Structure 1
Amino acid sequence: MIKVLVADSHPIVQKGLESFFKASTEIDIVGSASTTTELFDFLSSNTPDLILLEMDIPEVNGITALRKLKKDFPDVRVLMFSAQAEDVYAVSTLRAGAHGYISKTAELSLLQEAIVKVAGGNMFITNELAQRLAFDESTNKPRKYFRRLSTREVEVLKLLSAGKRNKQVAEELGLNEKTVSTYKARLMRKLNVDNMVDMLQQARALELF
Protein backbone atom coordinates (compact mmCIF):
# COMPACT_ATOMS: atom_id res chain seq x y z
CA MET A 1 0.00 0.00 0.00
CA ILE A 2 1.15 3.52 -0.78
CA LYS A 3 1.07 5.56 2.42
CA VAL A 4 -0.15 9.10 1.63
CA LEU A 5 -0.22 12.21 3.81
CA VAL A 6 -2.75 14.82 2.64
CA ALA A 7 -1.44 18.33 3.39
CA ASP A 8 -4.42 20.54 2.57
CA SER A 9 -6.15 23.28 4.56
CA HIS A 10 -9.68 22.33 3.49
CA PRO A 11 -11.45 19.76 5.71
CA ILE A 12 -13.80 18.78 2.88
CA VAL A 13 -10.78 17.87 0.72
CA GLN A 14 -9.20 15.86 3.53
CA LYS A 15 -12.39 13.96 4.34
CA GLY A 16 -13.32 13.52 0.70
CA LEU A 17 -9.99 11.92 -0.17
CA GLU A 18 -10.07 9.72 2.92
CA SER A 19 -13.53 8.52 1.91
CA PHE A 20 -12.62 7.97 -1.74
CA PHE A 21 -9.48 5.95 -1.01
CA LYS A 22 -10.93 4.01 1.92
CA ALA A 23 -11.71 1.01 -0.29
CA SER A 24 -8.51 1.28 -2.33
CA THR A 25 -6.14 -1.67 -2.42
CA GLU A 26 -3.26 0.58 -3.55
CA ILE A 27 -3.51 3.81 -1.55
CA ASP A 28 -3.81 4.36 2.19
CA ILE A 29 -4.40 7.88 3.56
CA VAL A 30 -2.34 7.73 6.75
CA GLY A 31 -2.89 11.28 7.93
CA SER A 32 -3.90 14.85 7.18
CA ALA A 33 -2.28 18.22 7.88
CA SER A 34 -3.95 21.62 7.58
CA THR A 35 -0.83 23.79 8.03
CA THR A 36 2.89 23.47 7.50
CA THR A 37 3.38 23.16 11.26
CA GLU A 38 1.06 20.16 11.32
CA LEU A 39 2.81 18.78 8.23
CA PHE A 40 6.27 18.78 9.80
CA ASP A 41 4.94 17.64 13.18
CA PHE A 42 3.47 14.59 11.46
CA LEU A 43 6.73 13.87 9.64
CA SER A 44 8.70 14.02 12.88
CA SER A 45 7.21 10.67 13.89
CA ASN A 46 5.80 9.19 10.66
CA THR A 47 7.21 8.35 7.24
CA PRO A 48 4.66 8.38 4.43
CA ASP A 49 5.62 7.31 0.93
CA LEU A 50 4.06 10.39 -0.64
CA ILE A 51 2.82 13.83 0.41
CA LEU A 52 -0.09 15.38 -1.49
CA LEU A 53 0.84 19.02 -0.88
CA GLU A 54 -1.53 21.94 -1.39
CA MET A 55 0.10 24.90 -3.14
CA ASP A 56 -1.57 27.40 -0.79
CA ILE A 57 -1.13 25.54 2.49
CA PRO A 58 -1.17 28.10 5.35
CA GLU A 59 1.82 29.60 7.18
CA VAL A 60 4.35 29.40 4.34
CA ASN A 61 3.67 29.00 0.64
CA GLY A 62 3.81 25.59 -0.97
CA ILE A 63 7.12 26.14 -2.76
CA THR A 64 8.85 27.18 0.46
CA ALA A 65 7.39 24.13 2.23
CA LEU A 66 8.57 21.98 -0.67
CA ARG A 67 12.14 23.28 -0.34
CA LYS A 68 12.18 22.36 3.34
CA LEU A 69 10.69 18.94 2.62
CA LYS A 70 13.39 18.21 0.05
CA LYS A 71 16.08 19.25 2.52
CA ASP A 72 14.77 17.49 5.64
CA PHE A 73 12.95 14.49 4.10
CA PRO A 74 14.63 13.81 0.74
CA ASP A 75 13.21 10.29 0.40
CA VAL A 76 9.54 11.33 0.60
CA ARG A 77 7.88 11.85 -2.77
CA VAL A 78 5.85 15.06 -3.20
CA LEU A 79 2.87 15.55 -5.51
CA MET A 80 1.68 19.16 -5.67
CA PHE A 81 -2.09 19.60 -5.54
CA SER A 82 -3.35 23.02 -6.55
CA ALA A 83 -6.08 25.25 -7.91
CA GLN A 84 -3.43 27.63 -9.25
CA ALA A 85 -2.55 27.99 -12.93
CA GLU A 86 -1.01 24.71 -14.01
CA ASP A 87 1.37 25.96 -16.68
CA VAL A 88 2.84 28.51 -14.26
CA TYR A 89 3.20 26.62 -11.03
CA ALA A 90 3.87 23.15 -12.38
CA VAL A 91 7.18 24.29 -13.83
CA SER A 92 8.17 26.18 -10.68
CA THR A 93 7.33 23.34 -8.32
CA LEU A 94 9.07 20.74 -10.47
CA ARG A 95 12.17 22.93 -10.50
CA ALA A 96 11.95 23.14 -6.70
CA GLY A 97 11.91 19.35 -6.39
CA ALA A 98 8.29 18.19 -6.68
CA HIS A 99 7.74 14.87 -8.40
CA GLY A 100 4.45 15.86 -10.00
CA TYR A 101 1.70 18.45 -10.23
CA ILE A 102 -2.06 17.94 -10.49
CA SER A 103 -4.94 20.39 -10.51
CA LYS A 104 -7.73 20.26 -7.94
CA THR A 105 -10.14 20.24 -10.87
CA ALA A 106 -8.82 16.85 -12.03
CA GLU A 107 -10.93 13.71 -11.90
CA LEU A 108 -10.30 11.49 -8.88
CA SER A 109 -9.27 8.67 -11.20
CA LEU A 110 -6.49 10.89 -12.57
CA LEU A 111 -5.39 11.81 -9.04
CA GLN A 112 -5.18 8.10 -8.24
CA GLU A 113 -3.11 7.53 -11.37
CA ALA A 114 -0.80 10.40 -10.41
CA ILE A 115 -0.25 9.09 -6.87
CA VAL A 116 0.60 5.60 -8.11
CA LYS A 117 2.93 6.96 -10.78
CA VAL A 118 4.81 9.32 -8.45
CA ALA A 119 5.04 6.75 -5.65
CA GLY A 120 6.50 4.33 -8.19
CA GLY A 121 9.44 6.63 -8.82
CA ASN A 122 8.14 8.49 -11.87
CA MET A 123 7.19 12.10 -12.59
CA PHE A 124 3.63 13.20 -13.31
CA ILE A 125 2.19 16.08 -15.30
CA THR A 126 -0.90 15.95 -17.47
CA ASN A 127 -0.60 15.32 -21.21
CA GLU A 128 -2.23 18.70 -21.84
CA LEU A 129 0.42 20.49 -19.82
CA ALA A 130 3.22 18.56 -21.48
CA GLN A 131 1.90 19.61 -24.89
CA ARG A 132 1.59 23.27 -23.86
CA LEU A 133 5.11 23.36 -22.48
CA ALA A 134 6.48 21.71 -25.60
CA PHE A 135 4.57 23.55 -28.30
CA ASP A 136 3.22 26.84 -26.96
CA GLU A 137 6.46 28.84 -26.71
CA SER A 138 6.00 30.48 -30.11
CA THR A 139 2.55 31.92 -29.32
CA ASN A 140 1.93 35.47 -28.23
CA LYS A 141 -0.20 34.57 -25.24
CA PRO A 142 0.82 36.63 -22.17
CA ARG A 143 1.07 33.54 -19.99
CA LYS A 144 4.19 32.39 -21.83
CA TYR A 145 6.15 35.01 -19.89
CA PHE A 146 5.52 33.21 -16.63
CA ARG A 147 7.34 30.09 -17.78
CA ARG A 148 10.48 32.22 -18.01
CA LEU A 149 10.44 32.91 -14.28
CA SER A 150 12.65 31.11 -11.80
CA THR A 151 11.09 29.30 -8.87
CA ARG A 152 12.20 32.06 -6.49
CA GLU A 153 10.77 34.76 -8.77
CA VAL A 154 7.41 32.98 -8.75
CA GLU A 155 7.53 32.82 -4.95
CA VAL A 156 8.23 36.56 -4.72
CA LEU A 157 5.51 37.42 -7.23
CA LYS A 158 2.97 35.28 -5.39
CA LEU A 159 3.69 36.98 -2.05
CA LEU A 160 3.65 40.48 -3.57
CA SER A 161 0.33 39.70 -5.24
CA ALA A 162 -1.03 38.66 -1.85
CA GLY A 163 -0.38 42.23 -0.67
CA LYS A 164 2.81 41.61 1.29
CA ARG A 165 5.46 44.31 1.55
CA ASN A 166 9.13 43.83 0.74
CA LYS A 167 10.03 43.31 4.40
CA GLN A 168 7.36 40.63 4.84
CA VAL A 169 8.44 38.86 1.64
CA ALA A 170 12.05 38.96 2.79
CA GLU A 171 11.18 37.50 6.21
CA GLU A 172 9.08 34.67 4.79
CA LEU A 173 11.65 33.64 2.19
CA GLY A 174 14.74 34.20 4.33
CA LEU A 175 16.07 37.00 2.13
CA ASN A 176 17.06 40.61 2.76
CA GLU A 177 14.96 43.52 1.48
CA LYS A 178 17.55 44.54 -1.10
CA THR A 179 17.38 41.07 -2.66
CA VAL A 180 13.57 41.27 -2.82
CA SER A 181 13.89 44.62 -4.62
CA THR A 182 16.25 42.97 -7.10
CA TYR A 183 13.71 40.22 -7.74
CA LYS A 184 10.98 42.81 -8.30
CA ALA A 185 13.12 44.53 -10.92
CA ARG A 186 13.76 41.20 -12.66
CA LEU A 187 10.05 40.38 -12.60
CA MET A 188 9.10 43.66 -14.22
CA ARG A 189 11.74 43.17 -16.90
CA LYS A 190 10.72 39.59 -17.65
CA LEU A 191 7.00 40.41 -17.66
CA ASN A 192 7.54 43.45 -19.86
CA VAL A 193 6.03 46.00 -17.47
CA ASP A 194 7.56 49.10 -15.91
CA ASN A 195 5.73 49.40 -12.59
CA MET A 196 4.36 47.30 -9.74
CA VAL A 197 0.72 48.09 -10.45
CA ASP A 198 0.91 46.75 -14.01
CA MET A 199 2.87 43.70 -12.87
CA LEU A 200 0.30 42.75 -10.25
CA GLN A 201 -2.65 43.55 -12.51
CA GLN A 202 -1.21 41.27 -15.18
CA ALA A 203 -0.75 38.45 -12.69
CA ARG A 204 -4.32 38.79 -11.44
CA ALA A 205 -5.81 39.15 -14.91
CA LEU A 206 -4.25 35.84 -15.82
CA GLU A 207 -5.79 34.30 -12.69
CA LEU A 208 -2.38 33.42 -11.30
CA PHE A 209 -3.23 34.66 -7.81
Structure 2
Amino acid sequence: MIRLLIADDHAIVRDGLKQIFAQESDLEVMGEAADGREVLDCLRKVSFDLLLLDMSMPGTSGVELITLLRARQPNLNMLVLSMHNSPQVAMQALKAGANGYIPKSCETELLLSAIRKVALGHGFIAPELAEKMVFDATAPVHPARHGELSGREREIALMLTNGMGVKEIAQQLAISHKTVSTHKRRVLEKLNLSSLADLIRYTLQHDLQN
Protein backbone atom coordinates (compact mmCIF):
# COMPACT_ATOMS: atom_id res chain seq x y z
CA MET A 1 0.00 0.00 0.00
CA ILE A 2 1.31 3.45 -0.96
CA ARG A 3 0.29 6.08 1.58
CA LEU A 4 -0.14 9.55 0.09
CA LEU A 5 -0.14 13.12 1.32
CA ILE A 6 -1.76 15.56 -1.13
CA ALA A 7 -0.61 19.19 -1.02
CA ASP A 8 -2.55 21.64 -3.19
CA ASP A 9 -4.22 24.93 -2.31
CA HIS A 10 -7.33 24.13 -4.39
CA ALA A 11 -9.87 21.92 -2.60
CA ILE A 12 -11.44 20.87 -5.89
CA VAL A 13 -8.08 19.50 -7.06
CA ARG A 14 -7.54 17.60 -3.81
CA ASP A 15 -11.06 16.15 -3.98
CA GLY A 16 -10.58 15.09 -7.60
CA LEU A 17 -7.30 13.36 -6.80
CA LYS A 18 -8.86 11.56 -3.83
CA GLN A 19 -11.61 10.23 -6.09
CA ILE A 20 -9.02 8.90 -8.53
CA PHE A 21 -6.92 7.29 -5.81
CA ALA A 22 -9.97 5.72 -4.12
CA GLN A 23 -10.33 3.50 -7.18
CA GLU A 24 -6.80 2.12 -6.82
CA SER A 25 -6.34 -0.77 -4.38
CA ASP A 26 -2.69 0.06 -3.68
CA LEU A 27 -3.14 3.78 -2.94
CA GLU A 28 -4.41 5.40 0.25
CA VAL A 29 -4.65 9.12 1.04
CA MET A 30 -3.45 9.71 4.60
CA GLY A 31 -3.82 13.48 4.68
CA GLU A 32 -3.96 16.71 2.74
CA ALA A 33 -2.50 20.20 2.99
CA ALA A 34 -3.46 23.54 1.44
CA ASP A 35 -0.23 25.49 2.02
CA GLY A 36 3.39 25.11 3.01
CA ARG A 37 2.73 25.42 6.73
CA GLU A 38 0.23 22.56 6.63
CA VAL A 39 2.69 20.41 4.68
CA LEU A 40 5.31 20.95 7.38
CA ASP A 41 2.75 20.14 10.08
CA CYS A 42 1.82 16.90 8.29
CA LEU A 43 5.49 16.02 8.02
CA ARG A 44 5.53 15.77 11.81
CA LYS A 45 2.08 14.29 12.41
CA VAL A 46 1.18 12.06 9.44
CA SER A 47 2.81 8.82 8.30
CA PHE A 48 2.98 8.64 4.51
CA ASP A 49 5.17 7.23 1.74
CA LEU A 50 4.86 9.92 -0.91
CA LEU A 51 4.11 13.63 -1.01
CA LEU A 52 2.18 14.80 -4.08
CA LEU A 53 3.08 18.48 -4.14
CA ASP A 54 1.81 21.51 -6.03
CA MET A 55 4.51 24.07 -6.90
CA SER A 56 2.42 27.20 -6.24
CA MET A 57 0.69 27.48 -2.87
CA PRO A 58 0.23 30.31 -0.34
CA GLY A 59 3.18 31.02 1.92
CA THR A 60 6.29 28.89 1.60
CA SER A 61 6.05 26.90 -1.62
CA GLY A 62 7.85 25.86 -4.78
CA VAL A 63 11.62 25.48 -4.71
CA GLU A 64 11.85 26.97 -1.22
CA LEU A 65 9.44 24.41 0.23
CA ILE A 66 11.01 21.48 -1.62
CA THR A 67 14.46 22.47 -0.33
CA LEU A 68 13.13 22.78 3.22
CA LEU A 69 11.35 19.41 3.06
CA ARG A 70 14.43 17.68 1.68
CA ALA A 71 16.56 19.13 4.47
CA ARG A 72 14.12 18.03 7.17
CA GLN A 73 13.42 14.58 5.75
CA PRO A 74 16.19 13.44 3.37
CA ASN A 75 14.42 10.19 2.42
CA LEU A 76 11.07 11.78 1.61
CA ASN A 77 9.60 10.78 -1.77
CA MET A 78 8.28 13.93 -3.47
CA LEU A 79 6.37 14.07 -6.74
CA VAL A 80 5.51 17.54 -8.01
CA LEU A 81 2.14 17.84 -9.76
CA SER A 82 2.07 21.35 -11.19
CA MET A 83 0.18 23.63 -13.56
CA HIS A 84 3.59 24.71 -14.92
CA ASN A 85 4.24 22.62 -18.03
CA SER A 86 7.75 24.01 -18.30
CA PRO A 87 11.07 22.16 -18.47
CA GLN A 88 12.75 25.06 -16.66
CA VAL A 89 10.36 24.87 -13.69
CA ALA A 90 10.67 21.08 -13.67
CA MET A 91 14.46 21.33 -13.58
CA GLN A 92 14.29 23.77 -10.67
CA ALA A 93 12.07 21.39 -8.71
CA LEU A 94 14.40 18.47 -9.36
CA LYS A 95 17.51 20.46 -8.43
CA ALA A 96 15.80 21.49 -5.18
CA GLY A 97 15.20 17.84 -4.27
CA ALA A 98 11.96 16.60 -5.85
CA ASN A 99 12.03 12.99 -7.06
CA GLY A 100 9.70 13.59 -9.96
CA TYR A 101 7.73 16.20 -11.87
CA ILE A 102 4.52 15.90 -13.85
CA PRO A 103 2.11 18.57 -15.20
CA LYS A 104 -1.54 18.67 -14.17
CA SER A 105 -2.47 18.34 -17.84
CA CYS A 106 -1.22 14.73 -17.85
CA GLU A 107 -3.39 11.66 -18.29
CA THR A 108 -4.54 9.83 -15.16
CA GLU A 109 -2.60 6.68 -16.05
CA LEU A 110 0.63 8.66 -16.35
CA LEU A 111 0.06 10.19 -12.91
CA LEU A 112 -0.57 6.77 -11.36
CA SER A 113 2.54 5.38 -13.01
CA ALA A 114 4.60 8.31 -11.71
CA ILE A 115 3.30 7.83 -8.16
CA ARG A 116 4.17 4.13 -8.14
CA LYS A 117 7.66 4.71 -9.49
CA VAL A 118 8.51 7.60 -7.16
CA ALA A 119 7.12 5.67 -4.17
CA LEU A 120 9.74 3.00 -4.92
CA GLY A 121 12.48 5.61 -4.82
CA HIS A 122 12.83 6.07 -8.57
CA GLY A 123 12.81 9.37 -10.43
CA PHE A 124 10.09 10.32 -12.91
CA ILE A 125 9.74 13.10 -15.47
CA ALA A 126 6.75 13.45 -17.78
CA PRO A 127 8.01 12.27 -21.21
CA GLU A 128 7.17 15.50 -23.04
CA LEU A 129 9.07 17.52 -20.43
CA ALA A 130 12.04 15.17 -20.49
CA GLU A 131 12.36 15.69 -24.24
CA LYS A 132 12.21 19.47 -23.87
CA MET A 133 14.81 19.36 -21.09
CA VAL A 134 17.25 17.59 -23.41
CA PHE A 135 16.93 20.39 -25.95
CA ASP A 136 17.10 23.06 -23.23
CA ALA A 137 20.42 21.65 -22.06
CA THR A 138 21.94 22.66 -25.40
CA ALA A 139 20.44 26.18 -25.37
CA PRO A 140 22.94 29.07 -25.44
CA VAL A 141 23.93 30.50 -22.06
CA HIS A 142 22.68 34.03 -21.34
CA PRO A 143 25.52 36.40 -20.35
CA ALA A 144 25.63 37.15 -16.61
CA ARG A 145 24.01 40.52 -15.94
CA HIS A 146 22.31 39.94 -12.59
CA GLY A 147 24.84 42.18 -10.85
CA GLU A 148 22.84 45.08 -12.31
CA LEU A 149 19.70 44.10 -10.36
CA SER A 150 18.71 45.90 -7.18
CA GLY A 151 18.08 43.83 -4.06
CA ARG A 152 14.31 44.09 -4.53
CA GLU A 153 14.53 43.20 -8.22
CA ARG A 154 16.60 40.11 -7.47
CA GLU A 155 14.17 39.10 -4.70
CA ILE A 156 11.18 39.38 -7.03
CA ALA A 157 13.03 37.61 -9.86
CA LEU A 158 13.67 34.62 -7.59
CA MET A 159 10.06 34.61 -6.38
CA LEU A 160 8.84 34.60 -9.99
CA THR A 161 11.10 31.72 -10.94
CA ASN A 162 9.96 29.90 -7.82
CA GLY A 163 6.49 29.70 -9.33
CA MET A 164 4.86 32.62 -7.52
CA GLY A 165 2.47 34.92 -9.38
CA VAL A 166 2.36 38.71 -9.33
CA LYS A 167 -0.63 38.78 -6.96
CA GLU A 168 1.00 36.34 -4.52
CA ILE A 169 4.28 38.28 -4.53
CA ALA A 170 2.44 41.56 -3.94
CA GLN A 171 0.65 40.09 -0.92
CA GLN A 172 3.81 38.59 0.56
CA LEU A 173 5.88 41.77 0.15
CA ALA A 174 2.99 44.12 1.02
CA ILE A 175 3.38 46.12 -2.19
CA SER A 176 1.02 46.78 -5.09
CA HIS A 177 0.52 44.51 -8.10
CA LYS A 178 1.68 47.40 -10.30
CA THR A 179 4.95 47.69 -8.38
CA VAL A 180 5.63 43.96 -8.78
CA SER A 181 4.87 44.17 -12.51
CA THR A 182 7.21 47.15 -12.85
CA HIS A 183 10.02 45.27 -11.10
CA LYS A 184 9.38 42.25 -13.32
CA ARG A 185 9.64 44.39 -16.46
CA ARG A 186 12.87 46.00 -15.24
CA VAL A 187 14.39 42.61 -14.41
CA LEU A 188 13.70 41.33 -17.92
CA GLU A 189 15.06 44.54 -19.45
CA LYS A 190 18.26 44.54 -17.38
CA LEU A 191 18.94 40.86 -18.10
CA ASN A 192 18.01 41.31 -21.77
CA LEU A 193 15.36 38.59 -21.53
CA SER A 194 11.96 38.45 -23.18
CA SER A 195 9.86 36.09 -21.05
CA LEU A 196 9.46 34.33 -17.71
CA ALA A 197 10.72 31.12 -19.34
CA ASP A 198 13.93 32.95 -20.27
CA LEU A 199 14.24 34.21 -16.69
CA ILE A 200 13.84 30.70 -15.29
CA ARG A 201 16.47 29.40 -17.72
CA TYR A 202 18.81 32.26 -16.75
CA THR A 203 18.35 31.48 -13.05
CA LEU A 204 19.24 27.84 -13.63
CA GLN A 205 22.23 28.62 -15.84
CA HIS A 206 23.70 31.00 -13.25
CA ASP A 207 22.57 29.01 -10.18
CA LEU A 208 20.92 32.05 -8.58
CA GLN A 209 18.77 29.99 -6.20
CA ASN A 210 21.87 29.12 -4.14
Q: TM-score, normalised by structure 2?
A: 0.71
Is the alpha carbon distance of 1:32 and 1:158 closer, same or farther for their aligned partners in structure 2, counting shifts above 3 Å? same
What one-letter code is carried by the residue in structure 1 that aligns with 2:43? Answer: L
RMSD: 3.5
**Residue matched to 2:147:** none
What one-letter code is carried by the residue in structure 2 that aligns with 1:35? Answer: D
Report if the CA contact (8 A) 1:63-1:155 is conserved.
no
Give the secondary-structure state (helix, strand or coil) at the position aligned to 1:47.
coil
Instruction: State the shift of 1:104 in Å.
Output: 0.6
Deviations 1:67-126 (A, max 9, x none): 111111222200011111321111001000000001011111111000001001110002
Q: Distance in 2 between matches of 1:94 and 1:7?
A: 17
Give the aligned length.
177
Instruction: State the shift of 1:137 in Å.
Output: 4.7
What one-letter code is carried by the residue in structure 2 that aligns with 1:89? Answer: V
Alignment gaps of 5+ in structure 1? 146-151, 170-183
Give the secondary-structure state (helix, strand or coil) at the position aligned to 2:6.
strand
**Residue matched to 2:50:** 50
Q: Percent identity?
A: 32
Following TM superposition, where does structure 1 have runs of at least 4 consecutive aligned residues deviating by more than 3 angstroms?
135-140, 152-161
Report if the CA contact (8 A) 2:51-2:79 is conserved.
yes
**Residue matched to 1:107:** 107
Q: Distance in 2 between matches of 1:71 and 1:139?
A: 31
Give the secondary-structure state (helix, strand or coil) at the position aligned to 2:45.
coil
Q: Is structure 2 residue 166 aligned with structure 1 residue 162?
A: yes
Report if the CA contact (8 A) 2:85-2:129 is conserved.
no
Alignment gaps of 5+ in structure 2? 143-154, 175-183, 202-210
